Every structure is written in structure tokens, then in C-alpha cells.
Amino acid sequence: MHISEARNLKWIGIDLGNSRVTLNNLEKNGKPRVFKISPKLTAMLNALPKEKEGSFNSCHANIYRDFQSQRKTIAAKLQNPRLLRITFHTFRHWKATMEYHKTKNILHVMQFLGQRNIKNTLVYTQPINFENDYYHSATANTVQEAAKLIETGFEYVCTHTDIMLFRKHK
């Protein structure tokens, strides 16, 4: 989501019981969408105070200042000045690119980003090549084991002698 969409998110749009966020406060005439969130993020949101209608009652300047401060600290600690070039929008581009790499479906990415024009979506996705990357591999003997692997990010590769083979990037 756009930073302004996150900043304007209301508690009414967060379903902690089902780990879902419904985004209706749209930026740039985007489409409404529902996101599944991780158990870790659900727990973090659950720990926040809920006295106000908005979940992140902070102005854009404060959020950006805090982000810059954290980014600067991490860049110094890791001695990596390239980290100073990361913005909130960088994460949106990264997620769009990874979502396209995972699904190979640009229309899915367009819907995921809440965009109405495919040309805008194409700006967000970049061609990437993971062929030289290394993979973690795992096997499954049952459908339940396979489901657990898929839920943790593994992708199915093939079946060999009744054993299902899975992989995910390191």
C-alpha cells in the first residue's frame, strides 16, 4: 500500500481475528483490496493502543522522519550507504516485483497493488533472474506436509518416487 494508505488505515479495516486488512481509503483512485497479514504482524497490531479511530495516528512528516532516522542508523551499523536510498516506495516496487516473479501474472500484480491501469503496474515490476541463487529444499510424503511447506513459502517442483520435492530461495 501507499504510505498515505497505511497512515490513514482505520481500526475498523483491521480484522485481527482473521488476520486481514481491508483497504478502502484509497490513494490515486486505486481499487479497494484485502490483504492477508502474518501472525507476527497481527500480534504487533494487537499490541497497539486502540483508543483512536486511526491505527497509525501520526502525520506524514513524523513517519518519514522516524523512517529516515532508522534507515540512517541501520546504514551506519551495516556500513552500507546504499541503504540510505531506500524509501517507502522502494518496498512497494520490491513487493510488486516479487509478486510478479512468484505468480508470473501481471494482472494479479495490478489487482494486488490496487491499480486501474496496467501501464502503471509495469512501472512497478522489474525483470529479475534468480537462476544463480541457491535454494532450500524440502520433501513431503503427505498432502498435509506439502500444505505446510507451501504455507511457509516453498514452491512445488516435482514428484519423484511418491515424494514431493519443494524449494524456496535462501
Q: How far apart are CA 51 and CA 16, in angstroms?
A: 16
Q: How far is CA 151 from the centre of its chain?
A: 15
Q: How far apart are CA 94 and CA 92, in angstroms?
A: 5
Burial class (CB in 10 A: 0-12, 13-18, 19+), 21: buried
Which pLDDT score, from 0 to 100, does residue 150 have? 93
| pTM (2 d.p.) | 0.61
Instruction: Please give the share of the chain, as a percent, with pLDDT higher than 90.
Output: 36
Q: How far is CA 114 from the centre of its chain?
A: 14
Q: How far apart are CA 124 and CA 167, in angstroms?
A: 26
Which tens digits make up the pLDDT trace of 90-136? Answer: 988 888 988 888 888 999 999 888 888 899 888 888 777 766 667 88
Q: How far apart are CA 50 and CA 10, in angstroms?
A: 10
